[in-house]
């Protein structure tokens, strides 16, 4: 039993779970575009997400990340470096437009993580800008990147898809924002700190329904799109209803973060049957 607990802990703490969530959103984007997601893009995104997230979590201060004495953290460090090498090996399969977008994303991640000036904090220390920046980065990677990589023509439906993804990420962040009420400093001025827990959940419900209703504005719908997004709406509502300031350690980091994976599973089921 201890072995399985250790594997599960490593699965979460090494960012494998969040990487699978990112991949699931990219594959969902591709399915609704009637495109088969390429192996090269999938491997690159999976590996680079692990390396990036682990750097953000453990390596903002580089000297603390490069020289670690803890055996467990050394394992995550080695795993991150292996995935960083994989990301560099597969970045060559991306086209110029995709690479340019990734450079923009890298700048945004730098703004989020690293203080530009000694007296100016990074955006992780500002509640609302942090949320908007995270949603923007996830949207660029999981929606705009597939459009650029596979040469999808831009039009009304593309902008609806981008808007929906941005809203979806905002909704998925609500349980994390409410959970962090226990540890966030008052000066962060996060959304739950500004308007309270109940109002934040109400905002989440509103955005979840806006996300779903935007589907009806698309000119062309994939056969399984409406039903699968209806399923996702149902899961979002349940997640928001169960969200509490005091929640289990895995509620947000495993169950909520796993909703994109569950959504992709539903899409596959609908495609199969």
Whole-angstrom Cα distance, residue 129 to residue 37? 31
Whole-angstrom Cα distance, residue 130 to residue 112? 7
**pTM score over 0.85:** yes
- Residue-wise pLDDT tens digits, 75-113: 888 999 999 999 999 999 999 999 999 999 999 988 877
Percent share of the chain, pLDDT over 70: 90
Is 45 in contact with 86 (CB distance < 8 Å)? Answer: no
Task: Name which residue leads in pLDDT, 126 or 84.
Answer: 84
The pLDDT mean for the chain works out to: 89
Is 26 in contact with 41 (CB distance < 8 Å)? Answer: yes
First to last CA, the chain: 36
Nearest partner of 29 among 121, 133, 136, 148, judged by Cα: 148
Where does the pLDDT of residue 65 fall: very low under 50, low under 70, confident under 90, or very high at 90 and above?
A: low
Nearest partner of 58 among 108, 4, 121, 13, judged by Cα: 13
Nearest partner of 81 among 112, 55, 44, 43, judged by Cα: 55
Is 267 in contact with 28 (CB distance < 8 Å)? Answer: yes
Total Cβ atoms within 10 A of residue 160: 16
Cβ neighbours of residue 161 closer than 8 Å, sequence gap 6 or more:
29, 32, 143, 218
Q: DSSP per residue over 23-89, as a string?
A: HHHHHHHHHHTT-PPPHHHHHHHHHHHHHHHHHHHH-SSHHHHHS---HHHHHHHHHHHHHHHHHHH
pLDDT at 117: 47
């Amino acid at each position: 039993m201890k072995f399985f607990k250790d594997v599960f802990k490593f699965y979460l703490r090494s960012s494998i779970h969040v990487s699978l969530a990112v991949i699931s959103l990219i594959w969902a984007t591709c399915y609704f575009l009637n495109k088969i997601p390429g192996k090269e893009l999938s491997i690159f995104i999976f590996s680079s997400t692990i390396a990036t997230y682990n750097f953000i979590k453990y390596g903002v201060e580089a000297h603390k990340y490069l020289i670690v004495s803890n055996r467990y953290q050394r394992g995550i460090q080695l795993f991150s470096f292996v995935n960083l090498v994989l990301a560099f090996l597969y970045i060559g399969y991306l086209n110029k437009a995709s690479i340019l977008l990734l450079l923009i994303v890298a700048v945004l991640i730098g703004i989020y993580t690293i203080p530009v000036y000694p007296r100016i904090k990074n955006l992780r220390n500002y509640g609302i800008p942090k949320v908007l920046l995270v949603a923007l980065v996830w949207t660029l990677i999981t929606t705009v990147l597939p459009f650029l990589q596979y040469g999808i023509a831009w039009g009304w439906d593309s902008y609806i898809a981008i808007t929906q993804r941005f809203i979806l990420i905002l909704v998925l962040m609500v349980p994390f924002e409410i959970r962090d009420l226990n540890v966030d400093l008052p000066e962060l001025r996060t959304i739950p700190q500004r308007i309270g827990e109940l109002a934040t959940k109400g905002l989440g419900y509103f955005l979840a329904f806006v996300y779903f209703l935007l589907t009806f504005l698309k000119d062309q719908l994939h056969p399984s799109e409406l039903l699968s997004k209806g399923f996702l709406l149902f899961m979002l509502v349940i997640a928001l209803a169960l969200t509490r300031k005091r929640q289990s350690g895995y509620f947000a980091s495993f169950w909520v973060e796993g909703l994109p994976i569950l959504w992709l599973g539903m899409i596959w089921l609908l495609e199969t049957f």
